[in-house]
């Protein structure tokens, strides 16, 4: 289960929800992008807050678990 401060490398593009000009917009991450978990909840199929491309985004925990890999040596 993803934990706060863990970093993940995206293996398959996944959806990220970002705020753009005050509106929530969905975007796809690119393979190789790095995301850092910044806020939970971290259970089930809920969304977590991450830092991605120097901005705050929301992502589903299940997508992070299934389509990203933990970067070893990163804080846990």
- The model's pLDDT over 19-31, given as tens digits with 9 standing for 90+, comes to 999 999 999 999 9
Within a domain: 1: no
Comparing CA positions, the residue from 68, 6, 74, 1 lying closest to residue 37 is 6
Task: Indicate whether 42 pLDDT > 90.
Answer: no
Q: Could you tell me the pTM of the whole model?
A: 0.85
Within a domain: 18: yes
Beta bridge mates, 18: 25, 57
Within a domain: 75: no
Separation of alpha carbons 22 and 24, rounded Å:
7
Residues 6+ apart with CB under 8 A from 62: 44, 45
Tally of structural domains, the chain: 1
Range of the domain at 32: 7-70
Within a domain: 45: yes
CATH number at residue 33: 2.30.30
% of the chain at pLDDT higher than 70: 91
Do 46 and 59 touch, CB atoms closer than 8 A?
A: no
């Amino acid at each position: 289960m993803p934990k706060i401060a863990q970093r993940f490398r995206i293996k398959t593009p996944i959806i990220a929800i970002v705020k753009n000009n005050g509106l929530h917009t969905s975007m796809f991450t690119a393979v190789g992008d790095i995301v850092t978990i910044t806020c939970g909840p971290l259970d089930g199929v809920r969304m977590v807050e991450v830092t991605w491309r120097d901005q705050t985004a929301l992502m589903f925990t299940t997508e992070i678990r299934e389509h990203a890999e933990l970067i070893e040596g990163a804080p846990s």
